[in-house]
């Protein structure tokens, strides 16, 4: 009898040890991907605590769904997560210029020069404004590429693309699978339009989304030093979709938009809120303009294009 009990206790001890190791590895991975702090190796909690937090946030479901790179947002499994009510005040977020200023050497000097540069206001442009532009985004940007009537821009977009896919080879560019990072490393653009976020609504928190988004903007700024960066707000969904969903809600979208908006400096990084266009009303996507409560009908993407053209930035050749 004692021998049997000893074996049971040994098996239980092995199970606990293996589980602890596996959860620590999982927590470390989620720390790197979702909950990283000021730098890649600074975290807000130890791996085991992060694993418990990640299970609560259902990050495992997000990781499993990300294995399928071709899913559409209307087919997404709604992930249960709570939008934190104690969101940091956007005014208290670290400005992008301050982050840049913390870097050494040339980057720090560039940040100082940027602070001294003048700010710019939006003006109206014509269609040729997009000739040297690059659009980065998910299925909604795919819609822009197909239906908005923008035929002279470069589109690095794919259904289901998320901020976490920035350095993954998920974009087909010049007949090759590449990451957005790799394309931006090889070709320079005068304007970069970035809009992702709907696929991340069920993953982590608004703060963890913001941290990853900020890192991507910093990398784009480094790879494209002369480009204007336009951060596009994530488009709202319809009121019905928002009311029925646990995570893809307009409250969640608005919380994330408020954070990424703080990255704009009105000098070379600008925030454009598409939710201020006629596509939306009373804080929601107009139901008549969408076929699935999330995506815009083909004939209404011209509203999106016109709104972007009304939010153009012009610099003289000397200033550029």
Question: Is 77 contained in some domain?
Answer: no
Exposed (0-12), middle (13-18) or buried (19+): which is 55, by Cβ within 10 Å? middle
Judge if 131 and 34 occupy the same domain. no
Regarding beta strands 171-173 and 191-195, do their DSSP bridges make them parallel or antiparallel, or are they unpaired? unpaired
Domain span at residue 122 reads 90-309
Judge if 214 and 172 occupy the same domain. yes
Cα distances (Å, whole numbers) of residue 258 to 23, 105, 229, 284, 292: 33, 31, 17, 16, 25
Judge if 26 and 116 occupy the same domain. no
Distance of CA 44 to the CA centre of its chain: 21
- pLDDT, residue 57, reads 52
Q: Which domain CATH number covers 231?
A: 3.40.50.1110
- pLDDT, residue 5, reads 72
d(CA 104, CA 220): 17
Residue 51 in 3-state DSSP?
A: helix
Cα distances (Å, whole numbers) of residue 272 to 50, 171, 206, 230: 34, 24, 19, 7
Nearest Cα to Cα of residue 216 among 177, 252, 179: 179
Contacts of 83 (CB under 8 A, 6+ apart): 205, 206, 249, 251, 252, 255
DSSP for residue 146: H
Judge if 107 and 149 occupy the same domain. yes
How many domains, the chain? 2
Judge if 129 and 224 occupy the same domain. yes
- pLDDT, residue 283, reads 96
- pLDDT, residue 1, reads 67
Using alpha carbons only, give the angle 288, 292, 295 rounded to the nearest 5 degrees. 85
Tokens 């870097």 identify what position?
103
**Burial call 94-111: b when 16+ CB within 10 Å, e when fewer:** eebbebbbeeeeebeebb
Cα distances (Å, whole numbers) of residue 242 to 32, 37, 203, 259, 271: 30, 30, 16, 20, 23
Judge if 206 and 107 occupy the same domain. yes
Judge if 233 and 149 occupy the same domain. yes
Question: Is 99 contained in some domain?
Answer: yes
Question: Is 276 contained in some domain?
Answer: yes
Judge if 32 and 101 occupy the same domain. no
Query: What is the chain's percent helix, strand, coil content, to nearest 5?
Result: 50, 10, 40
pLDDT tens, N- to C-terminus, the chain (320 residues): 666 777 777 777 787 888 788 777 877 766 665 544 333 334 446 777 777 766 655 555 445 444 433 323 333 323 333 333 344 444 445 555 555 555 445 544 554 555 556 889 999 999 999 999 999 999 999 999 999 999 999 999 999 999 999 999 999 898 899 999 999 999 999 999 999 999 999 888 999 999 999 999 999 999 999 999 999 999 999 999 999 999 999 999 999 999 999 999 999 999 999 999 999 999 999 999 999 999 999 999 999 999 999 999 998 754 55
Find out whether 193 and 147 touch, Cβ atoms under 8 Å: no
């Amino acid at each position: 009898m004692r021998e049997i009990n000893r074996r049971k206790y040994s098996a239980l001890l092995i199970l606990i040890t293996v589980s602890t190791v596996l959860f620590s590895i999982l927590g470390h991975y989620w720390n790197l991907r979702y909950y990283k702090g000021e730098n890649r190796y600074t975290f807000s909690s130890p791996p085991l605590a992060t694993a418990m937090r990640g299970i609560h946030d259902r990050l495992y479901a997000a990781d499993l769904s990300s294995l399928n790179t071709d899913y559409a947002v209307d087919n997404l499994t709604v992930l249960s997560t709570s939008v934190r009510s104690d969101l940091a005040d956007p005014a208290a977020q670290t400005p992008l210029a301050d982050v840049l200023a913390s870097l050494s050497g040339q980057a720090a000097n560039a940040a100082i020069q940027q602070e001294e540069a003048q700010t710019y206001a939006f003006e109206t442009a014509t269609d040729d404004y997009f000739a040297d532009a690059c659009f980065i985004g998910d299925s909604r940007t795919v819609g822009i590429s197909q239906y908005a009537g923008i035929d002279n821009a470069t589109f690095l977009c794919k259904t289901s693309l998320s901020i976490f896919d920035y350095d993954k080879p998920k974009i087909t560019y010049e007949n090759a699978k590449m990451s957005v990072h790799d394309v931006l490393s090889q070709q320079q653009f005068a304007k970069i339009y970035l809009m992702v976020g709907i696929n991340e609504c069920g993953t982590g928190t608004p703060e963890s989304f913001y941290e990853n988004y900020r890192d991507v903007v910093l990398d784009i700024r480094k790879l494209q030093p002369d480009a204007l960066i336009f951060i596009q707000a994530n488009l709202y969904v319809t009121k019905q979709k928002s009311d029925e969903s646990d995570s893809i809600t307009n409250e969640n979208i608005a919380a994330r938009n408020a954070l990424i908006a703080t990255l704009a400096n009105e000098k070379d990084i600008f925030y454009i809120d598409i939710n201020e266009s006629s596509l939306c009303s009373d804080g929601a996507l107009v139901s008549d303009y969408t076929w699935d409560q999330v995506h815009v009908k083909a004939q209404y993407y011209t509203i999106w294009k016109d709104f972007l053209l009304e939010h153009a930035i012009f610099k003289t050749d000397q200033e550029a």
